[in-house]
Amino acid sequence: MLSQNPRAKEVLEQWSALLKLDPTYAPAAEAFGQYWLERGDYAQARLRFAQVLVLTPQSYTGHFQLAITDERLGLLPEAREHLKAACKIVPGK
C-alpha cells in the first residue's frame, strides 16, 4: 500500500513529475487515485480515477476503483454505472 510506504512522498513526487512530462500517462493518475483512496480522501481519489477514464475509457481498474470511490462518497447511481462498466471489461469474459 502506497499510503503506508515510508517513501510515499518520494514516490508521489515521481508520479507528479511523470504527469507533468506526460499528462496522458494513465498509470500515474491511477497510482495517485489509489493513494488517495487508501488514505480515505475519496474526493481526490475520484478526481484521479476520473482522469484515468478520460485517458483510457476502457480501463477496468479505472471503472472499478471509481465505483468504490463513488460508493464511499454516497454516489450510488454513479457507483453502480462504473461497476457495470467494469464488469463488461473484465478480461476473459
On the question of pLDDT at 4 being above 90, the answer is no
Q: C-alpha distances in angstroms, 17 versus 12, 22, 64?
A: 8, 9, 26
Which residues touch 66 (CB under 8 Å, ≥6 apart)?
46, 49, 50, 52, 53, 78, 79, 82
On the question of pLDDT at 6 being above 90, the answer is no
Q: What is the pTM of this model?
A: 0.82
Please tell me which of 3-7, 11-15, 25-29, 74-78 the model is most confident about, judged by mean pLDDT.
74-78
Domain locations in the chain? 2-89
Model pLDDT, residue 76: 97
Model pLDDT, residue 5: 65
Domain 2-89 has CATH 1.10.3720.10: no
